[in-house]
């Protein structure tokens, strides 16, 4: 029997052919495919600008770093949910800010707006709510806090392509939206990321930051597309007389390449289809595993949200007569792949011990770290796979009287 994996690689024939075409044309750095990808992703979200980058972590990093170029303080604290993948906290530090961790709501696993309000202090300059595992955050109170305290908001939608909050696509409600196209995510470019922006100045800064802080930041680069002559290049270069070698700000090396963009273009065309398949699988498992609610806390869509599930999160009940490790062992031996549900970055990740947080400061995030896990819910699961998952859980619970 094949292994039921957490993620899937689902690249269509069109995407493969576009990669081959890029290779044949010898255009493998950022070029015409990147621009097409940016246009398609922006249009899908009804946003004016998209800036494609090399990873989702870079998307968070350059989005955050851009705000010191856009009139916000160059230093300060950024609110971030304690329950998160490590990259979001890393990005805050890479961007030159300090992460101010906030506990999560125990039902949604997303940042708790009440806890966020209490965490705001004189050094707070922004927040980065994460739509964890594809469930949208409760954005209205977060945006109200941001307006009240003049904070920037970067939505981390790395795991939530196509998800909606009160009908609005995630990544379009804050000042910017950051996405990841890592291989295990809802749509993929292999690695890759993108930032959605609402105005030209934001997009200009983002394009500069992804290219070392370069002075030239046109939406379409003639040199990258067809090696054509650029009339601007030698007019705005300053003392060096070449804008491609004039740098206005401290930047990053974070460009998407044309091979990744080729894969992504085909993925965007199928995004709605992929999300619908994942939603169908998600609700099938919720119904099938609902009989074990004495032992498991299942992930729900939420009243105001429309989930785009990255995975199928589960939390072992505190009263359960077994441990997460025992359940994981049973699933893994049954060829159902699992992952732990991240946990509390400031108190359960050794890399952040230097901040001095103590166990118990983020009880909800820490509980997920101790008892949470997830399995696959991707579009390539068959009906037989889903039935097998439910049957495997049922087999495990037999020993406990279910």
The answer to whether the CB of 201 falls within 8 A of the CB of 63 is no
Backbone torsions φ then ψ of 118, nearest 5 degrees: -70, -20
Longest dimension (CA), the chain: 79
Structure tokens at 377: 């819910």
How far apart CA 193 and CA 60 sit, in angstroms, is 9
What's the number of CA atoms in the CB half-sphere (13 Å) around residue 398? 7
How far apart CA 13 and CA 266 sit, in angstroms, is 9
The answer to whether the CB of 192 falls within 8 A of the CB of 180 is yes
Q: Which of 45, 161, 185, 330 is catalytic?
A: 185
Q: Residue 330 catalytic?
A: no
How far apart CA 230 and CA 252 sit, in angstroms, is 23
Using the CB atoms, write b or e for 351-369: b if 16+ within 10 Å. Answer: ebeeeebeeeebebbbbbb
Enzyme catalytic residues:
185
């Amino acid at each position: 029997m094949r292994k039921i994996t957490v993620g899937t690689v689902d690249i269509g024939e069109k995407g493969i052919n576009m990669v081959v075409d890029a290779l044949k044309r010898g255009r493998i750095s950022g070029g015409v495919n990147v621009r097409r990808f940016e246009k398609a992703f922006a249009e899908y979200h009804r946003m004016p600008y998209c800036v494609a980058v090399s990873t989702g972590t870079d998307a968070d990093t350059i989005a955050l770093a851009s705000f010191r170029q856009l009139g916000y303080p160059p230093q300060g604290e950024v609110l971030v949910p304690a329950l998160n993948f490590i990259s979001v906290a890393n990005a805050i530090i890479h961007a030159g800010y300090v992460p101010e961790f906030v506990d999560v709501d125990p039902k949604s696993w997303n940042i708790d707006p009440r806890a966020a309000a209490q965490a705001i202090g004189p050094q707070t300059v922004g927040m980065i709510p994460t739509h964890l595992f594809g469930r949208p955050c409760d954005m209205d109170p977060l945006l109200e806090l941001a307006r009240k305290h003049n904070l920037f908001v970067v939505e981390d939608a790395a795991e939530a392509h196509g998800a909606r909050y009160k009908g609005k696509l995630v990544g379009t409600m804050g000042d910017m939206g950051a996405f990841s196209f890592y291989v295990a995510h809802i749509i993929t470019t292999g690695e890759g990321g993108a930032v959605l922006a609402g105005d030209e100045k934001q997009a200009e800064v983002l394009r500069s930051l992804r290219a070392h802080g370069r002075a030239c930041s046109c939406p379409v680069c003639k040199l990258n597309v067809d090696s054509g002559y650029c009339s601007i290049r030698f007019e705005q270069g300053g003392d060096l007389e070449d804008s491609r070698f004039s740098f206005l700000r401290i930047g990053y090396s974070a460009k998407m390449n044309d091979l990744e963009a080729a894969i992504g273009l085909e993925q965007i065309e199928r995004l709605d289809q992929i999300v619908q398949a994942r939603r169908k699988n998600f609700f099938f498992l919720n119904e099938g595993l609902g009989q074990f609610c004495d032992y498991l806390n299942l992930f729900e869509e939420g009243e105001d949200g429309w989930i785009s599930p990255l995975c199928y999160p589960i939390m072992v009940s505190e009263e359960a007569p077994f441990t997460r490790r025992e359940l994981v062992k049973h699933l893994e031996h049954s060829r159902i792949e699992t992952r732990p549900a991240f946990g509390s970055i400031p108190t359960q990740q050794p890399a952040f011990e230097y901040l001095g947080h103590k166990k118990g400061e983020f009880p909800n995030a820490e509980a997920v770290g101790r008892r949470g896990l997830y399995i696959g819910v991707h579009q390539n699961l068959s009906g037989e796979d889903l039935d097998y998952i439910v049957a495997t859980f049922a087999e495990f619970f037999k020993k406990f009287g279910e």
